[in-house]
Structure 1
Amino acid sequence: MRRSTVRSVTTAGALLVAAGAVADLLPTVTAVSPVRRLCPGLAGRGDPGHVALTLDDGPHPVATPLLLQRLDELAVRATFFLLAEQVRRYPRVAYETRERGHEIAVHGLRHDPPTRPWRAGTDLVEAHRIIADVTGAKPGWYRPPYGVLTTSRAVAARRLGLRPVLWTADGRDWAAGADGDSVARRVLARLDGGGTVLLHDSDVAAVPGSWRSALGALDTIVGHCRAQGLLVGPLRDHGLRSGSEKSRRRRVTEPALAGQRQNG
């Protein structure tokens, strides 16, 4: 084959890969707040008398136990979106999170940007398996890293029975210079009943030690919500059906419908 032909084939292949990547990335607008407002369920907007507290990127050997202890003291349960590679490193911490009554959810295999759409399905399957095996939980929620829900990630999540959910109030606890006061102020400026709070119990994808700002903000956030008469808890109590609940409902209703068809 001539070099010019080889170059043409190679270029065409590269263009196809690039086109496929662009098409996969089109839904990344879900990470933009105006689009999330148009998709309240995806943003995590639920029961107006409830605030969902969620933490991403763990488990962490120091941060997660400290946050678990403070949540115990506040009598609050939360939803933890775990990274499977962190679960592999710190399985005991992941297991303890579930044992202490918190809800387990999937954040992914690692905190990757969506640059390999062809790996999205296999990576999410592996992440789901690791997290479920170690914690003994059956996760029903999925939050993509960076809030970027691509086509491939959405399809893979659906196949696993995971419902994607983002957030309505982000404390930017991962940023340099953040502290408990700045995180609490930012969250409360964006939070109302039915909202979902995003914090982090790990610095694996952030400034080292940034989790301290999330820990420092907890009391203020929970105290403010309670002063407003709002309950604070995990997504399972937020009036939204997770992917696993939807799957259970289908399994229950389908035999009943079959019986009705038989009888009818």
Structure 2
Amino acid sequence: MDEGAAVRRAVSAAVPVLGVSLAAALAHIGPAATWLPGPRRRWLPRLAGQGRPGHVALTFDDGPHPESTPRFLDALDGLGVRATFFLLGENVVRHPALARELARRGHELAVHGWTHDQPWLPSPVRDTRELLRAAHAVGETGGAAPRWYRPPYGILTSGRWAAARRAGLRPVLWTAWGKDWRSDATPASVRATAASALRGGGTLLLHDTDHTSAPGSWRATLGALPEIVGDCRSAGLTVGPLAEHGPDWER
């Protein structure tokens, strides 16, 4: 067989395999398009975290952490506000007393996954195992079964959709964020970024730790928190956890 014929045969044999692999990859990562904020708010408002018009859901990701989370607890107590904390399972088992303190102070505990990993490769068995593990840790420590799930980076693959359903969790992303994970974040920048997209009925994403963010970035969030809550109240909006986001949010 000449060399050209051998190459043509190899290519012909590879094309169906590549087609199947591409289709599998698209099926896995395709749902992650819900990360795009415009289409998400327009076509999937519940996934975006859109609730009753007079309320803003305040949410924090990546905790708990003993250095920063207690400061947020004290600040929220001072503001008279309760929030939803999307916790990483690995941090819950490291700091169970702190997770219990969140619940004791009236905050809502939700699931952010076991670790803050990037789900680019399909692994449905791992997704289900780790999400069930995280949900159990959060529920066992907080004393109530969690209701909400926000995947790391907001990336909902098909495997994570299925895992959330298996765990009895409802995925919730956000309508506004403060970009408070950045090294150049300041209280003013976090407040301004949040205000640019936050409206009545929205869900605000912030972070109570720098576990996966720039070192010390949580200080900008903490500094912005009173102003953010004040801005909402000046606009006639109440601020609270997802559980208070309206009747459409009841199971």
TM-score, length-scaled by structure 1: 0.84
The residue that corresponds to 2:131 in the other structure is 124
Q: Deviations over 1:111-170 (max 9, x none)?
A: 011134322111111111111112212100000110111111111111211110111111
Aligned pair partner of 1:161 in 151, 165, 168? 168
> How many Å separate the matches in 2 of 1:109 and 1:41?
24
Cα deviation for residue 21 of structure 1 reads 3.4
Cα deviation for residue 19 of structure 1 reads 4.5
Match status 1:26 vs 2:30: yes
SS in 2 for 1:105: strand
- Structure 2 segments unaligned to the other structure (5+ residues): 1-12
> Is the contact made by 1:41 and 1:240 (CA closer than 8 Å) also made in structure 2?
no
Q: Deviations over 1:89-114 (max 9, x none)?
A: 11111110011000010000000111
CA gap 1:16/1:131 in 2 versus in 1, 3 angstroms: farther
The residue that corresponds to 2:39 in the other structure is 35
> How many Å separate the matches in 1 of 2:156 and 2:31?
6
Q: Deviations over 1:184-239 (max 9, x none)?
A: 01101111110111000111111011111110110011001111111000000001
CA gap 1:20/1:180 in 2 versus in 1, 3 angstroms: same
Cα deviation for residue 14 of structure 1 reads 8.7
Q: Judge which range, 32-41 or 15-24, deviates more.
A: 15-24
User: Given residue 159 of structure 1, which amino acid in structure 2 is its aligned partner?
Assistant: R
Aligned pair partner of 1:56 in 51, 57, 61? 61
Identity over aligned pairs, percent? 53
The residue that corresponds to 1:3 in the other structure is none
User: Given residue 190 of structure 1, which amino acid in structure 2 is its aligned partner?
Assistant: A
User: Given residue 79 of structure 1, which amino acid in structure 2 is its aligned partner?
Assistant: T
Cα deviation for residue 241 of structure 1 reads 5.0
User: Given residue 22 of structure 1, which amino acid in structure 2 is its aligned partner?
Assistant: L
User: Given residue 172 of structure 1, which amino acid in structure 2 is its aligned partner?
Assistant: K
> Is the contact made by 2:72 and 2:208 (CA closer than 8 Å) also made in structure 1?
yes
> Is the contact made by 1:87 and 1:94 (CA closer than 8 Å) also made in structure 2?
yes
SS in 1 for 2:24: helix
> How many Å separate the matches in 1 of 2:89 and 2:32?
22
> How many Å separate the matches in 1 of 2:213 and 2:88?
14
> How many Å separate the matches in 2 of 1:10 and 1:71?
58
1:59-208 correspondence runs (5 A): 59-118=64-123, 119-208=126-215
SS in 1 for 2:109: strand
The residue that corresponds to 2:5 in the other structure is none
1:220-259 correspondence runs (5 A): 220-239=227-246, 246=251
TM-score, length-scaled by structure 2: 0.89
User: Given residue 71 of structure 1, which amino acid in structure 2 is its aligned partner?
Assistant: L
Query: How many residues matched?
Result: 237
User: Given residue 208 of structure 1, which amino acid in structure 2 is its aligned partner?
Assistant: P
User: Given residue 227 of structure 2, which amino acid in structure 1 is its aligned partner?
Assistant: T
- Structure 1 segments unaligned to the other structure (5+ residues): 1-8, 247-264
> How many Å separate the matches in 1 of 2:22 and 2:118?
16
> How many Å separate the matches in 2 of 1:142 and 1:100?
21
C-alpha RMSD over aligned residues = 2.0
Q: Deviations over 1:32-51 (max 9, x none)?
A: 11221221111001010000
CA gap 1:138/1:168 in 2 versus in 1, 3 angstroms: same
SS in 1 for 2:145: coil
User: Given residue 101 of structure 1, which amino acid in structure 2 is its aligned partner?
Assistant: G
> How many Å separate the matches in 1 of 2:74 and 2:189?
22
User: Given residue 236 of structure 1, which amino acid in structure 2 is its aligned partner?
Assistant: A
Q: Deviations over 1:47-73 (max 9, x none)?
A: 100000000000011110000000000
User: Given residue 224 of structure 2, which amino acid in structure 1 is its aligned partner?
Assistant: A
